[in-house]
């Protein structure tokens, strides 16, 4: 009986302790040497990283007509986590076969990196006319548009008159993910891509 009450008391104390802490524990870094991007040089380093400058998706290339393989070559395509590449080549109805859509995850991860940079630039509004600031903002906007466009090419219907109101993509325009996003229409998806590109053009040099 005593042990039972002790367990109940422990749970109650733990609950009260957590409530009194508020949400400050969310700000604690998981490791002491974790670096949070905060300077213009940090933002530039993010944009210069290989992941943001490599080919955005192999799925679209494999499913296109840029190359072809023999039947024997197709049969020897890698399996396991790469089985979707084999399926993409023949436009299989179920490309991923229940596995995680890597092109989706990677694309949105790169958009998040661009959003982190764009959000961080808000603290440097006084430098908005300086070349480095303009380079960073223009580049981040361009990359976000590029990755969103690539995702739309794979996961959304084409932008033609009869498809404008169909479901496009869900996406965030900020790194502060506090509420669920929603799925935009095809028109809204491409309008955002165009908006980012036009704004990027205002910041990047000729």
CATH of the domain at 113: 1.25.40.390
Domain range holding 173?
32-67+100-203
- Residue 45 inside a domain? The answer is yes
Burial of 188 (0-12, 13-18, 19+ CB in 10 A): middle
Phi, psi values for residue 167, rounded to 5°: -65, 130
- Residue 192 inside a domain? The answer is yes
- Residue 86 inside a domain? The answer is no
- Residue 114 inside a domain? The answer is yes
- Residue 113 inside a domain? The answer is yes
**Distances in whole angstroms, Cα of residue 41 to Cα of each of 37, 47, 60, 141, 145:** 9, 10, 33, 17, 22
- Residue 16 inside a domain? The answer is no
Rg (CA), the chain: 23
**Tally of structural domains, the chain:** 1
What pLDDT, on the 0 to 100 scale, is given for residue 79? 62
What pLDDT, on the 0 to 100 scale, is given for residue 24? 53
What pLDDT, on the 0 to 100 scale, is given for residue 56? 67
Return per-residue pLDDT of the chain as tens, 206 residues.
444 433 444 544 444 344 445 545 445 554 545 678 889 999 999 999 988 888 767 787 888 877 788 898 888 876 655 678 888 888 888 888 877 788 899 999 999 999 999 999 999 989 999 999 999 999 999 999 999 999 999 999 998 888 899 999 999 999 988 888 899 999 999 999 999 999 999 999 87
| 3-class DSSP state of 167 | strand
What pLDDT, on the 0 to 100 scale, is given for residue 80? 55
What pLDDT, on the 0 to 100 scale, is given for residue 185? 95
Residue-wise over 27-56: b if at least 16 C-beta within 10 A, else e? eeeeeeeeeebeebeebbebbeeeebeeeb
- Residue 149 inside a domain? The answer is yes
Per-residue tokens: 27: 């700000």
Separation of alpha carbons 193 and 147, rounded Å = 9
- Residue 95 inside a domain? The answer is no
Rounded to two decimals, the pTM is 0.77
Per-residue tokens: 175: 């790194």
Separation of alpha carbons 3 and 205, rounded Å = 72
What pLDDT, on the 0 to 100 scale, is given for residue 8? 47
Hey, which residues does 185 pair with through a beta bridge?
167
**DSSP conformational letter for 165:** T
């Amino acid at each position: 009986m005593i042990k039972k009450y002790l367990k109940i008391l422990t749970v109650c104390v733990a609950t009260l302790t957590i409530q009194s802490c508020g949400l400050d524990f969310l700000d604690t870094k998981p490791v002491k040497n974790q670096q949070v991007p905060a300077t213009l040089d940090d933002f530039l380093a993010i944009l210069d990283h290989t992941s943001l400058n490599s080919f955005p998706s192999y799925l679209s290339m494999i499913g296109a007509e840029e190359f072809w393989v023999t039947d024997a070559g197709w049969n020897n395509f890698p399996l396991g986590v790469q089985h979707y590449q084999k399926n993409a080549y023949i436009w299989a109805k179920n490309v991923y076969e229940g596995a995680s859509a890597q092109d989706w995850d990677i694309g949105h991860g790169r958009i998040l990196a661009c959003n982190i940079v764009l959000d961080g630039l808000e603290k440097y509004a006084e430098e908005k006319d300086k070349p480095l600031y303009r380079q960073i903002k223009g580049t981040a906007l361009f990359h976000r548009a590029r990755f969103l466009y690539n995702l739309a090419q794979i996961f959304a219907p084409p932008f033609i008159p009869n498809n404008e109101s169909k479901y496009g993509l869900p996406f965030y325009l900020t790194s502060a993910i506090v509420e669920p996003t929603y799925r935009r229409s095809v028109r809204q998806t491409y309008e955002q891509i165009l908006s980012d590109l036009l704004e990027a053009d205002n910041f990047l040099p000729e």
